[in-house]
Amino acid sequence: MEKIRDAIVGDLRKEFTEFKAEVRGQLEGMQKQLDGFRIAIETMNKRMDSMEQRISRVEARLDETNKRIDTLTLDMNRKKSPHESFLNLLHKFIPINFCELHATCVSTST
């Protein structure tokens, strides 16, 4: 009877050892996969950081360009012809939008 019990326990130990080795191998494989995911995530984070820096530089350049446009617009407004200044002064006293008046004349004449 004891020989049967020893044989069964021996088989169970052998199966358990094989099972343990199989689980260990699977865990090592999963660890490699996790390491791969970690590396992929780190790479994506670096790319995102790089893209954010590039976007910040583009935004800064856009701000500079907008400032230059504003400066040029102010300069152009200061250098208007005397006729435009006269029309602006006239417009203060006679509040008529000449563009609207012209559009009305054009639209009624067609």
Domain ranges of the chain: 2-79, 81-110
In this predicted structure, what is the pLDDT of residue 90? 63
Q: Does the pLDDT of residue 97 top 80, yes or no?
A: no
Share of the chain above pLDDT 70, in %: 72
In this predicted structure, what is the pLDDT of residue 106? 47
Do 75 and 86 meet the contact criterion of CB atoms below 8 Å apart? no
Say if pTM beats, i.e. exceeds, 0.95: no
Lowest average pLDDT, out of 34-38, 56-60, 70-74, goes to: 70-74
Residues 21, 36, 17: CA angle, nearest 5 degrees: 5
